[in-house]
């Protein structure tokens, strides 16, 4: 199930689901999950894949053969220098200027470091990268990233891998309303297709999912479920979902509804 083309980063894509490639039980399952989900973008960590010994071999061949858009990321980076070095390596390996920028500031929550994130984004935008910064839902940080040159933001729903869903719907709605022209992708914390659906119904442009699919009992079917949820949420947003209200409202109009009254009793004699 697809929705109308999504224009992002200078490309037109048929799916608004982004799929991570880590933690799958096998390459075969990863390939099947990507195909079942319909995802047009997959994220790849150059540092993690290099550490696992798969770099430049079967893993890279598989990704290239599938014809999906690769979004390299700087997962695991904690300093600006680390992020810049990893970004340049990724651009050379994958031959793309797209980059998911991560600069982690807290080891427990894996929350992005706001100050270092902005600093790295400024430099990477100057170097010609299309930066997809992994950030929080904070409006001030969002504004600074936009000023740095970012046209796309990836606010978290909840901490990475937590599966908690959208912890702060109010802030996410506020961010969406404040920046209607910026592409916003919910990244991290998505645990169920219903979480992805909720984000898309808010008007978010896309959703990135990894652990919820990779660690499912059946990653292939879960990938398909997320693909359907993202498409359904986008269609619901475009259709104009009804607003919640306090009072009940009958779904069947009462105008013209016949009413029957019992005949008056005959007077007793």
Asked if 118 and 151 count as a contact pair (C-beta separation under 8 A), the reply is: no
What Cα–Cα distance (Å) separates residue 108 from each residue in 103, 104, 249?
14, 10, 47
Choosing among 3.40.50.150, 3.20.20.70, 3.20.20.80, 1.10.645.10, the CATH entry for 15-238 is 3.20.20.70
* Feature table: binding site: 161, 188-189, 210-211
Residues flagged as binding site for 1-deoxy-D-xylulose 5-phosphate: 161, 188-189, 210-211
Task: Please tell me the distance from the alpha carbon of residue 40 to that of residue 37, in angstroms, as a whole number.
Answer: 9
Indicate which residues carry an active-site annotation.
100
- Residue-wise pLDDT for 95-113, tens only, equals 899 999 999 999 999 999 9
**Residue 261 — very low, low, confident or very high, per pLDDT cuts 50/70/90?**
low
pTM for the complete prediction? 0.87
The pLDDT, as a whole number, for residue 51 is 44
Q: What is the CA radius of gyration of the chain?
A: 23
Looking at every residue in the chain, the average pLDDT score rounds to: 89
Residue 210 in this model has a pLDDT that exceeds 50? yes
């Amino acid at each position: 199930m697809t929705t109308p083309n999504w224009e992002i980063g200078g490309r037109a894509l048929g799916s608004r689901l982004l799929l991570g490639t880590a933690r799958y039980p096998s390459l075969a399952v990863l390939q099947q999950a990507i195909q079942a989900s319909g995802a047009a973008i997959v994220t790849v960590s150059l540092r993690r894949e290099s550490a696992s010994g798969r770099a430049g071999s079967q893993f890279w061949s598989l990704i290239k053969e599938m014809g999906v858009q690769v979004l390299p990321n700087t997962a695991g980076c904690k300093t600006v220098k680390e992020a810049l070095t990893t970004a340049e390596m990724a651009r050379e390996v994958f031959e793309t200027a797209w980059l998911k920028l991560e600069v982690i500031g807290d080891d427990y929550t894996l929350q992005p470091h706001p100050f270092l994130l902005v600093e790295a984004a400024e430099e990477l935008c100057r170097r010609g990268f299309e930066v997809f910064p992994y950030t929080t839902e904070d409006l001030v940080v969002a504004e600074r990233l936009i000023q740095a040159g970012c046209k796309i933001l990836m606010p978290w729903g909840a901490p990475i891998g937590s599966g908690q869903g959208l912890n702060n719907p109010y802030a996410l709605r506020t961010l969406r309303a404040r920046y209607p022209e910026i592409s916003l992708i919910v990244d991290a914390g998505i645990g169920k297709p219903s979480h992805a659906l909720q984000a898309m119904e808010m008007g978010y442009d896309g959703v990135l999912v990894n652990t919820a699919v990779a660690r499912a009992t059946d990653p292939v079917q879960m990938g398909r479920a997320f693909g359907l949820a993202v498409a359904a949420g986008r269609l619901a947003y475009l259709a104009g979902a009804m607003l919640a209200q306090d009072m009940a409202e009958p779904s069947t109009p009462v105008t013209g509804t016949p009413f029957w009254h019992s005949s008056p009793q005959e007077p007793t004699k």
